[in-house]
């Protein structure tokens, strides 16, 4: 997971228009260095970023993690960072 976040950070560094995104990934790296993958265990791989019309889970419905944006959670879930439980 750290490698995935570090790669994203490296790609964003130096891009003035991506400062917020860069800071979000940097914050995520700090949180994961501190807490590990346990912070994502409550999020399902089946969770979608956009609310679904019928059924299914949405990141909108899940309790946010302080300092960890929904976009970052979505990115990490898409990168298959979380192991199957």
Please tell me the pTM assigned to this model. 0.68
DSSP state, 41? Answer: T
List beta partners, residue 58.
48
Determine the pLDDT at residue 62.
64
Phi-psi region of 18 (alpha: psi -120 to 50; beta: other; left: phi over 0): alpha
Mean pLDDT by 10 residues, the chain (85 residues): 89 94 94 82 54 50 77 81 46
- Give, in order, the Cα–Cα distances in Å from 13 to each of 18, 21, 26, 37, 61: 8, 10, 10, 24, 32
**Cα–Cα distance, 63 to 53 (Å, whole number):** 19
């Amino acid at each position: 997971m750290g490698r995935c976040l570090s790669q994203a950070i490296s790609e964003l560094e130096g891009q003035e228009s991506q400062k917020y995104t860069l800071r979000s990934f940097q914050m995520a790296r700090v949180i994961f260095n501190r807490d590990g993958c346990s912070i994502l265990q409550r999020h399902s791989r089946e969770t979608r970023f956009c609310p679904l019309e019928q059924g299914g889970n949405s990141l909108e419905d899940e309790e946010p993690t302080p300092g960890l944006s929904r976009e970052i959670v979505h990115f990490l879930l898409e990168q298959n960072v979380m192991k199957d439980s």
